[in-house]
A and B are shown apart, each in its own frame.
Chain A
């Protein structure tokens, strides 16, 4: 066990790269952008990790929280508290570029930049999605795709169909 004297925010952040999203095991909680802040009390060795949910109903949040706790304790922290915060809200733009490439490699299309989506939609009759910006197919790269359903097997995924290679695929939702 390493001494808590060595602990600082960067060390904790580095270690958290080992904690993966249980629903997307090729992406760490840090790459996903849900670790909002790490505070280390150098006198006591206690650590506070602030995390924020992707979707507020994400059932994996509790698992990630427990995994983060064990990870930090294994580093030698005297105590750890994982707090859930909502400010600023998570956005899919936070997902790291390397993580996007790994998502793509397992056939999960990474979320398009949020800027492409209308956010102020409730009070207009405009199309809700900019249909000229379909999610590229993770298999063949074609942009000839359609979103078939905003809801996939988990609440953070949507279901799409590629007219290029005629395959269904899933995408991580832009939020």
Chain B
């Protein structure tokens, strides 16, 4: 990475075939994360605990679908022949590369809020890293999407702090954190394609991204009065729980099947339809 920072990023078309194939794998994972996060948040439309949150989750869902589209579109430059619609609406669970966290059922409001927070911070850290990365198109996309994350981060933090400070909210938001933390660590699941790209200096390593995410996440949660399932050792936060992995190789929580049926049913009933 350090070598790359001083030199200009290269276009995807100039990468060799192996690197392009690896990048397609990594980008698909990012796109799938956004798509399913967006779908789960859209389930709050009409059901939010208060009108403002109904609107906020619907807006963030819309943002995520926009982000998924940006990444799916990028894949076209990496040899993907399927359109974004086909990628989103015709793949079975085993072909998805999302981390498991985004497919978990929406649960109660504190659960959905904490999932957003953990995932938004992970994507913010990732995009911060990709803005300076060695692939021009990826850097452009990350720059655009990182700007939009700002409003998610403001939102999540305001509501998490509100819950953490209240007598009735603290228990549920802490429980959500405990339940979600292993899944959030799964966003940094080891991926050979990612490792090779990082070794070649194209993108930051998973280890570095995870370390940054742990730092910002655990510090901010602790400042809000919550107990992240991790401890501080010298400068770094070390998780006290094992990550829930498998998503990046197509192993998902059972609920992902029902999620995909709900999300894809309409499209699959008539893939040629125009709207």
What is the interface of chain A, defined by CB distance below 8 A to chain B? 53, 55-59, 86-87, 89-91, 117, 119-123, 125, 128-129, 148-155, 158-159, 173, 175
A29 CA to B65 CA, complexed, in Å: 23
Q: Is the CB of B66 within 8 A of A123?
A: no
Q: Is the CB of A122 within 8 A of B128?
A: yes
Q: For residue B269, give the distance in angstroms from its CB to the closest CB of chain A.
A: 22
Give A128's nearest chain B residue, CB to CB.
B154
Q: Which residue from A56, A117, A155, A173 sits with its C-beta under 8 Å from B144?
A: A56
Q: Is the CB of A151 within 8 A of B155?
A: yes
Q: Interface 1/0s, chain B 207-229, versus A by CB < 8 A?
A: 00000100110011001000000
Q: Interface 1/0s, chain B 234-273, versus A by CB < 8 A?
A: 0000000000000000000000000000000000000000
Q: Which residue from B55, B66, B140, B223 sits with its C-beta under 8 Å from A57?
A: B66
Q: Is the CB of B55 within 8 A of A152?
A: yes
Q: Is the CB of A151 within 8 A of B55?
A: yes
Q: For residue B145, give the distance in angstroms from its CB to the closest CB of chain A.
A: 6
Q: Is the CB of B124 within 8 A of A125?
A: no
A119 CA to B32 CA, complexed, in Å: 26
Q: Which residue from B65, B67, B212 sits with its C-beta under 8 Å from A123?
A: B212
Q: Is the CB of B52 within 8 A of A117?
A: no
Q: Which residue from A86, A119, A123, A151 sits with its C-beta under 8 Å from B141?
A: A86
Q: For residue A6, give the distance in angstroms from its CB to the closest CB of chain B.
A: 35
Q: Is the CB of B147 within 8 A of A175?
A: yes
Q: For residue A54, give the distance in angstroms from its CB to the closest CB of chain B.
A: 10
Grouping DSSP codes into helix (H, G, I), strand (E, B) and loop, the A interface class, with mixed when no group exceeds half, is: loop
A54 CA to B63 CA, complexed, in Å: 11
Give A154's nearest chain B residue, CB to CB.
B59
Q: Is the CB of A123 within 8 A of B128?
A: yes
Q: Is the CB of B69 within 8 A of A125?
A: no
Q: Is the CB of B66 within 8 A of A55?
A: yes
Q: For residue A175, give the distance in angstroms from its CB to the closest CB of chain B.
A: 5
The residues in B between 22 and 73 inclusive whose CB is less than 8 angstroms from any CB of A are 52, 55-56, 58-60, 62-67, 69-70
Residues of A within 8 Å of B52, CB to CB, are 148-149, 151, 159
Q: Which residue from A125, A150, A154 sits with its C-beta under 8 Å from B154?
A: A150
Q: Is the CB of B147 within 8 A of A122?
A: no
A129 CA to B70 CA, complexed, in Å: 27
**What 3 A-B pairs have minimum CB-CB distances, sorted nearest first?**
A57-B66, A56-B66, A122-B124
Q: For residue B20, give the distance in angstroms from its CB to the closest CB of chain A.
A: 19
- Scoring A56, A122, A153 by chain B CB atoms within 10 A of each residue's CB, the highest score goes to A122
Q: Which residue from B65, B143, B152, B223 sits with its C-beta under 8 Å from A125?
A: B223
**Does any Cβ of A come within 8 Å of B19's Cβ?**
no
Given contacts A89-B143, A159-B52, contact A56 B154 (CB under 8 A): no
Given contacts A122-B128, A151-B55, contact A128 B121 (CB under 8 A): no
